[in-house]
Chains A and B, each alone.
Chain A
Amino acid sequence: MTTEPAATGGADHDPDDDTLLDRVFDAVGERPDLLLEIFHAVQHARGYVDAALVPRIADRLNLSRADVHGALSFYPDFARTAAPRHVLKLCRAEACQSVGAVALAEHARTRLACDFHEAAADGRVLLEPVYCLGNCACAPAVMLDDELHGRVDNARLDALLDDLGSDGA
């Protein structure tokens, strides 16, 4: 019923949409109210929710394409194009701002040579803003591929990004 959140984006790429959807519907269920869970499962398997899947999902759930596209495009979590392997979510909310999140974001943008919602120059990391990770007493907080990090300063952020270099990606 519930799915584990994706750890690293899309590892095993399944070229067959129908096979993927069969698998997802088997695991999650085939009901319209499960649409978000279905998106989560697709994104977990593939790294993003391809627009080509929208009519197929709509067909299977007896929804209109507009319903499916509308929901898919409403939620910031769902990527609609192939995303970089790693996602760095940097909290921009008040508690993190109170201890230097604005400067940390500036550092991240400089280091990755990209803005929010963009991939780093090397194409491996997507930089996303996030509005609260619930780690407000250990701010500033960032989440790198579903791993939460607290009390992050420029040096720690650099170390986290440097560590990505050793995973063969």
Chain B
Amino acid sequence: MSTRVYIARDAAARSVGADRVATALAAAATAAGRDVDIVRTGSRGLLWLEPLVEVETPAGRVAYGPVDAREVAALVTAGLLDGAPHALNVGPIERHPYFAGQERVVFARCGLDQPTDLDACVARGGFRGLRRALEMAPGAVVDAVRDAGLRGRGGAGFPTGIKWRTVLDQQHPRKYIVCNADEGDSGTFSDRMLMEGDPYCLIEGMIIAAHAVGASQGYVYLRSEYPDAHRTLADAIARARAAGYLGADVLGSGLAFDIDIRLGAGAYICGEETSLLDSLEGKRGQVRAKPPLPAIEGAFGCPTVVNNVITLASVPAIAEHGAAWYHDHGTGRSRGTLPLQLAGNIRHGGLVEKAFGVTLRELLYDYGGGSLSGRPIKAVQVGGPLGAWLPEAAFDTPIDYEAFVAAGGMLGHGGIVVVDDTMNMADMARYAFEFCAIESCGKCTPCRIGSTRGVEVVDRLRAGDRREASLELLHDLCHTMRNGSLCALGGLTPDPVESALKHFPEDFALHPATGATGTTG
């Protein structure tokens, strides 16, 4: 009898040797006279345990990790194919403390099956939300998304239902659904994991969105840094089309909708929705002035829904289980779940999908297990390179859009980058300006010029050159960038800079008292 074994083909798992483990396992099984069926899946999200090997046993799937390809033969001899005890045996993933407390809504199927196996996806409830949505009037679908309280997961947190209503209300023969899959923020990988692990969830969300607003064409604007996601998504779209989920008559409903992938070309700014639209049209990815809103004049001048991958992938569950069910998750005005990403200097890095309300401290210590280096966690940056650096004192902040703003940060896309006490925060402030200078689209002056001047001012400050004047200039520059930039890149770059200065003035070689005075204004 054949033993089924699951090994992730997720890019993160492959980056640490999952392919070699799969090859070694097939060879070791043959040598042991055992017949194995190796299924390559998405990742379960316990990335520190990758490469993870799960073996189907009468008692369920038993996991081993992290597995080194060179240890595979010994593991097979030790009884891996029967789920035998071993130092690397972590038991069933569902009962692992990292996983058991999660609320997997978007990532419910990720890691269970071969990601483009359409039958397996449908058997686990895939496209049930779409079938329910197609029985509803478009306006009713929009209302359900609004009532669920879903907000944009890309960072801005704008209510998705309101955006969709605007597009639905436009009288226009052509409308678009554009999925923003240009996940460029450091510390974020949930879009990638979903596209590689359960691409049909995104496809289903996009079709529901098309039905809801009356769109006929969808685009996934995917960053070129994700070749694995590209392959998997392209394969899934082709299979969904062949099975009648996409095309001239979606599931016989009369809806005409199809999806194409457009590949980015290495520009961070194209994650900003208006530069994304210009890039989608084949132009330089430069930011557009708003208004007009993309919902009114978006891609090719037509009304367009631009949503992040996770936003769209949250929609099938809302359509299937109803707005009230989704709204029951979360806290305050942050409803539903957020797939958080623990990254950087963290012992248990990976993906943790939780309802809003979990605190940063629970994520960092209960799930994350503290720093990878074993040293004290000095600060975390939530929400990518434009997020503020938060010190220990802010770790009790709950994951909630408004609470993060009150704490001087932003939730963004839910990526959490951890640094330990060896990190110099003045280096990070300088890097924030440097990054902005490299990635600025160049359209507005505060961002294009201000970022370069920012690097220079930080250097002068650290060199002790006219410190008081430099400090004043730095804050003045941040004020100008924050208020005068066209988009969030220039507008939010001051956040990591000023938060680093505020919470860690000693890293700027300042007298603490001077630093405190200089940053309270």
Chain A residues within 8 Å of B, Cβ to Cβ? 1-5, 31-37, 39-40, 67, 70-71, 74-78, 93-99, 130-139, 141, 143, 146, 148-151
Contacts and interface: CB of A to CB of B under 8 A. Distances in A.
A75 to B, nearest CB: 3
B228 A148 contact: yes
Given A98-B419, A131-B435, A132-B186, A141 B282 contact: no
Nearest to B223: A134
- Counting from the closest, the 6 A-B pairs by CB-CB distance are A137-B349, A93-B186, A35-B282, A75-B265, A136-B343, A150-B15
Contacts of B286: 74
Contact of A97 (B50, B431, B439): B431
Nearest to A143: B225
A132 B225 contact: yes
Given A136-B417, A138-B15, A3 B281 contact: no
Given A95-B186, A139-B344, 16 more contacts: A1-B261, A5-B230, A35-B282, A37-B262, A70-B283, A71-B283, A95-B415, A98-B418, A131-B438, A132-B187, A132-B225, A136-B186, A138-B47, A139-B343, A146-B227, A150-B15
A150 B12 contact: yes
Most chain B CB atoms below 10 A, which of A1, A37, A132, A143:
A132
A76 B183 contact: no
A146 B281 CA distance: 25
A38 B385 CA distance: 31
B192 interface: yes
Contacts of B350: 137
Interface string B196-240: 000000000000000000000000000011111011001000000
A36 B265 contact: yes
A146 B266 CA distance: 13
Most chain B CB atoms below 10 A, which of A5, A67, A135, A143:
A135
Nearest to A61: B282
Contact of A76 (B230, B265, B341, B385): B265
Contacts of B262: 36-37
A148 B14 contact: yes
Nearest to A34: B282
Contacts of A2: 230, 234, 260-261, 263
A137 B14 contact: no
Interface in B408-437: 415, 417-420, 423, 428, 431, 435
Contacts of A1: 260-261
B505 to A, nearest CB: 20
Contacts of B191: 134
For the side of the interface on B, what is the size category?
35 or more
A165 to B, nearest CB: 20
A147 to B, nearest CB: 8
Given A2-B261, A36-B262, A71-B282, A138 B187 contact: no
B379 to A, nearest CB: 10
A94 B225 contact: no
11 contacts: A4-B231, A36-B263, A77-B266, A95-B186, A131-B385, A131-B439, A132-B187, A134-B189, A137-B12, A141-B15, A150-B16
B116 interface: no
A77 B187 contact: no
B186 A33 contact: no
Contacts of A131: 184, 186, 268, 385, 435, 438-439
B283 A132 contact: no
B203 to A, nearest CB: 15
Contacts of A39: 265
B435 A137 contact: no
A103 B438 CA distance: 21
A36 B278 CA distance: 11
A77 B224 contact: yes
B188 interface: yes
Contact of B15 (A4, A94, A132, A149): A149
Contacts of B438: 131
Nearest to B373: A99
Interface in B389-421: 415, 417-420
Contacts of B231: 4
B149 interface: no
B224 A5 contact: yes
A74 B431 CA distance: 22
B330 interface: no
Given A36-B263, A39-B265, A94 B187 contact: yes
A73 B518 CA distance: 41
A133 B188 CA distance: 9
Given A40-B265, A135-B12, A5 B349 contact: no
A70 to B, nearest CB: 5
Nearest to B47: A137
A78 B342 contact: no
Contacts of B372: 99
B300 A33 contact: yes
Contact of A96 (B184, B186, B300, B439): B186
A93 B384 CA distance: 10
Contacts of A95: 186-187, 343-344, 415, 417
A94 B431 contact: yes
A148 B11 contact: yes
Interface in B128-186: 183-186
Nearest to A89: B225
Nearest to B190: A134
B429 to A, nearest CB: 12
B417 A94 contact: yes
Contacts of A5: 224, 227, 230, 263
Contacts of A139: 343-344
B15 A137 contact: no
A66 B72 CA distance: 56
Given A93-B385, A132-B186, A78 B265 contact: yes
A132 B263 CA distance: 16
